[in-house]
Amino acid sequence: MEFGRRLRDLRKQKNISQRDLAAQVGIDFTYLSKIEGGRLAPPSEDVIRHIAQVLKADEDELINLAGKVPKDLKAVLEENPQAVELLRVLSERKLPDETYRQMLNLARKSDTTPTDEQNKN
């Protein structure tokens, strides 16, 4: 689903008018109407998070729909070229959900924070 259409659905579910939402988020209501109408690209991540908070919606869902990479993930990708490679491989293959689950379990098991490492040593 498009970002604008989803945003309009969420806003309507909460019975909040375009003008009210725009005022609460601190943006112009004409700008919000253009985003909802698909005339403009989704706003910045900060604005999307603010909108999601006002609407009590899932911030990550809206950020994903906007085609944006959340700031924290962006930092991980910038620091770790292998993470980028892993994502690239994943995007090229159609893997079953089970494989994703196994990979997540593996990643969680081998999760070692700096404090753990120090404790071991």
Partner 1 sequence: MTIQIDRYISDNEIEAQAARILQQYGRHYKPIVAPPVPIEEIIDFAVDIPIVRDSISDVQGVQVLAKLVARGHPHPSIEIIVNEDKQLFFDQYMGTEQYSLAHELGHAVLHIDRGSLDTLLLPNTREQGIVLCRMSTEAEHDRNAKRRELQAERFAACILMPQDLLRAACAHVDIYRWPNLYSLKDQFHVTISALTNRLKELHLVTVTPDRKLMPYQDQLAAHSHSLWE
Residues contributing to the site for partner 1 (CB under 8 A): 8, 12, 15, 17-19, 29-30, 33-34, 36-39
Smallest distance, partner 1 to C-beta of residue 61, A: 21
Q: Among residues 1 and 113, whose Cβ is nearest to partner 1?
A: 1
Q: Quick one: 8 or 68, whose CB is closer to partner 1?
A: 8
Task: Quote the least distance from Cβ 33 to partner 1, whole Å.
Answer: 5
Q: How far is CA 92 from CA 33, 53, 73, 80, 88, in A?
A: 36, 34, 20, 19, 6
Amino acid at 110: S
Q: How far is CA 26 from CA 4, 18, 67, 78, in A?
A: 18, 12, 22, 31
Nearer to partner 1, 31 or 45 (CB): 31
In the complex, the smallest distance separating the C-beta of residue 40 from partner 1, rounded to whole angstroms, is: 10
Least distance from partner 1 to the Cβ atom of residue 35, Å: 10
Please name which of 45, 5, 52 lies closest in space to residue 24, comparing C-alpha atoms.
Answer: 52
Nearer to partner 1, 40 or 89 (CB): 40
